Amino acid sequence: MNASTVAELAEERSTAAGRPRAVRGMLSFCLLASSGIGLPAGTCGLATGATFSSQELELGTGAQTKRCTTAAAKTHQAPILTTRSAIHTLRVSSGLTWEQIAELFQVSRRSLHFWASGKALAAENEARLMQVLGVLRYIDRGDSLRTRRALLEPDPRTGVRAFDLLAGQKFNEARELLGKGEGGGFHVWQELSPEEQAARRPPRPWELLDQLPDEVVHRDLGISRPARTLRTKRREHP
Amino acid sequence: MSTPDADRLRAIDAVSKEWRQGDCVLGELWFAFGFKPSAPITEEARAAAEGEAEVVEERVRGFVVATQTCDLVRSCRERHFLEVCTLVEMEAAALEEVRLGRRLRYAYLPGVASQRLVADLDRVMTLEKGVLLDWQRTRGCPRPTDAQAFARALARKHSRFAFPDDFVSFVRPLAKRIQEKHKRQSSEGAWLRAMREIRVRVAPRWDAPEVSITFLLLLDVEDEVSALGDIELLLKDWRGLVPATPRFISVGFLLTRLEGMTAMEYIESEALDLEHLSSAQPER
């Protein structure tokens, strides 16, 4: 299944009836992570050494999430992305700035930052996000800077930019304009584990104010002795 | 044990309120540390071991107060102690290295730098606050920014993130490349000099069996895609330096500015401790 078919399938599924509205905001799709480091273009290497030549995108939302069923997925559990992860994946894989991503989706910076913090996307934006990620996966130039350059540079023959095609939701045209990339630069932004997230949050103001009075509450052993000391002369330092 | 009378405690509290973190006392002072008589390490400990002592006192040029100011000013009835670091003298060249932050064991104190004195953060001693009654205060940190820098140096001494060994090995080629190239008059050198910080984000967590790593390269440039040369080729070279490691299944690079980072990205990442990497022992 090539990326175009998958993207079309993704679009079809995203507009199909029956997707529970209760799980909107949890945009889940399965991307096969690619390390791409030191590996031949077009393949993904896994710890086990398994390789595969095609990557699939499958759309799922909440309880309907389907995991990828390729052979590789049997050896490597692909991460399920939240909306937040998807937005950050787009950012780190495309090299686009926040302003450029907002322009791509024709939304305000404020809306984009809401998405990046996990706020629910409208159905049409969900589909659009998946389409854009699918295109990025396809045109991947090996690193985000080269991918960004490819997106933003006008085509020498037509003067058209792939970025503008994406902004206009002309995803197939964008793919055709840039062609398939060497891969290796598409980087999935996984969520931290819940424990890790909790450990890194700064304390809340009320937690700081909730600190107990400064008093001795421990129990000393109550045993002490004079130390037998010897005085020496000062050392030299560098 | 008898307790000091109330007047003395009040006197201690009164003088404590005058002291701040970063204040110094100069003169003939003694730093005490314990050791194992059967296994002394320093010359001082070896000398003391011969005399059957278990604690040795070493003469030092002075002390700098390491205790936070808010804890200094608390009553000695609740907070009996303060912590000090020793002041040590060094040659001008070494002093400059400390001032530039290149010697993390030491902290620069502008107020006593004219005497070529710095704080030795490796040697910390705890004292009862009563010692302040006899100490003549010298401001080690005359300006608020000096005090902040000293506080950061203290925090850094004890809070640097302990990167796993496999990550240290993983990123060593990158660190070596930075060290080799940052002074060169090349596009890569310019790019490296424009780098404000390198941060690293690992998901789902550092000790997971498989992790995804993102290097966040923060640049001090107006525009990430600035006229610094062919950054894309450099980044490709960099990616080639990062070896494939079974545990690190995905590695990405995000080029941005501080202004372009979200607070969450900053919180979820660590500063790459390059000075530790440069001094870490190579694998055998």
Q: Residue B4 has what pLDDT? A: 61
Which one has a higher pLDDT value, B146 or A28?
B146
Say which of B54, B232, B239 has its CB closest to residue A228. B54
Percent of chain B with pLDDT over 70: 90
* CB-neighbour burial class of residue B98 (10 A; exposed 0-12, middle 13-18, buried 19+): buried
Q: Residue B221 has what pLDDT? A: 66
Using alpha carbons, select from B260, B3, B164, B107 the residue that is nearest to residue A101. B260
Average pLDDT over residues B95-116: 93
Q: Residue A51 has what pLDDT? A: 25
Average pLDDT over residues A27-31: 41
Say which of B89, B214, B225 has its CB closest to residue A237. B89
Kindly report, residue by residue over A108-162, the tens digit of the pLDDT.
999 998 999 888 888 999 999 999 999 999 999 988 888 999 999 999 999 999 9
A37 with B212: Cβ contact below 8 A: no
Whole-angstrom distance, CA of residue B94 vs CA of residue B177: 25
Say which of B74, B225, B232 has its CB closest to residue A143. B232
Exposure string (b/e) for A12-24, b if CB count within 10 Å is 16 or more?
ebbeeeebeeebb
Average pLDDT over residues A94-108: 93
Taking CB atoms and an 8 Å cutoff, what residues of chain A touch B247?
Answer: 47
Q: How far is A147 from chain B (nearest CA, A)?
A: 9
| Mutation site, B58, B250, B256, interface A, largest A CB count within 10 A | B250
CB proximity B230 to A under 8 Å: no
Judge whether A187 and B214 are in contact, CB under 8 Å: yes
Judge whether A120 and A126 are in contact, CB under 8 Å: no
Q: How far is CA B207 from CA A30, A64, B211, B215, in A?
A: 23, 30, 8, 17
Please, which pLDDT band fits residue A33 given cuts at 50, 70 and 90?
A: very low
| Mutation site, B81, B117, B241, B249, interface A, largest A CB count within 10 A | B249
The answer for B 149-178 residues in CB contact with A (under 8 A) is none
Q: Residue B241 has what pLDDT? A: 76
Taking CB atoms and an 8 Å cutoff, what residues of chain B touch A184?
Answer: 239
Kindly report, residue by residue over B168-219, the tens digit of the pLDDT.
888 888 888 888 888 888 878 887 888 888 899 999 999 999 999 999 988 8
Q: Residue B231 has what pLDDT? A: 66
A34 with B250: Cβ contact below 8 A: yes
Say which of B34, B57, B212 has its CB closest to residue A188. B212
Task: State how beta strands A229-232 and A58-61 pair.
Answer: unpaired
Say which of A47, A200, A232 has its CB closest to residue B249. A47
Instruction: Match 């780098």 to its residue by tokens.
Output: B195
Is a pLDDT exceeding 60 seen at residue A59?
A: no
Say which of B48, B212, B235 has its CB closest to residue A145. B235
Kindly report, residue by residue over A174-223, the tens digit of the pLDDT.
999 999 999 988 999 999 999 999 988 888 888 877 777 766 677 777 77
The answer for B 202-221 residues in CB contact with A (under 8 A) is 203-205, 208, 210, 212, 214
Q: Which domains does chain B have, with CATH numbers?
A: 6-157 (no CATH), 165-279 (3.30.70)
DSSP for B93-140, please give it.
HHHHHHHTT--TTEE--GGGGGGTEEEEEEEEEEEEGGGGGTPPPEES
CB proximity B55 to A under 8 Å: yes
Q: What is the mean pLDDT of chain B?
A: 87
Please, which pLDDT band fits residue A63 given cuts at 50, 70 and 90?
A: very low
* Chain A residue at shortest CA distance from B250: A35
Average pLDDT over residues A59-73: 33
Taking CB atoms and an 8 Å cutoff, what residues of chain B touch A145?
Answer: 225, 231-232, 235, 255
Whole-angstrom distance, CA of residue A63 vs CA of residue A23: 8
Token readout for A38 is 């030191």
B262 with A116: Cβ contact below 8 A: yes
A238 with B94: Cβ contact below 8 A: yes
Please, which pLDDT band fits residue B226 given cuts at 50, 70 and 90?
A: low
Is a pLDDT exceeding 90 seen at residue B92?
A: yes
Q: Residue B196 has what pLDDT? A: 85
Q: Residue A78 has what pLDDT? A: 52
Q: How far is B54 from chain A (nearest CA, A)?
A: 6
Which one has a higher pLDDT value, A65 or B52?
B52
Please, which pLDDT band fits residue B230 given cuts at 50, 70 and 90?
A: low
Q: What is the mean pLDDT of chain A?
A: 70
Kindly report, residue by residue over B136-164, the tens digit of the pLDDT.
999 999 999 999 999 999 998 888 888 88
A230 with B51: Cβ contact below 8 A: yes
Which one has a higher pLDDT value, A213 or A21?
A213
Q: Residue A30 has what pLDDT? A: 41
